[in-house]
Amino acid sequence: MNSVVVRMILYVLSPLIPPLLALIPGWGISYAGGVVSIDLETLIAAFVAGLGISGAVFARWGVK
């Protein structure tokens, strides 16, 4: 696979992967008795982690 393709895949998916991990039951979002509970602190941390990964990819490959 070409390094440009790998870079673009990482750059596009990096903000999406941590919030998707927050959907793991008991970690960020839970459903019990008809009530959906969202742990905002965990979800915010997941979004910040995604932005950090995206920034790291850009810092590594985004500048000439």
In tens, the pLDDT along 23-60 reads 676 677 777 888 888 788 877 887 788 788 778 877 87
Task: Answer whether 42's CB lies under 8 Å from 22's CB.
Answer: yes
Burial (CB count <10 Å: 0-12, 13-18, 19+), residue 43: middle
pLDDT of residue 7: 78
Q: How many domains does the structure of the chain reveal?
A: 1
Query: If residue 19 lies in a helix (H) or strand (E), which one and from where to where?
Result: helix 17-21
Contacts of 38 (CB under 8 A, 6+ apart): 28, 29
Quote the pLDDT of residue 25: 66
Structure confidence at residue 26 (pLDDT): 67
Quick one: pLDDT at residue 28? 73
> 44: domain range?
3-61
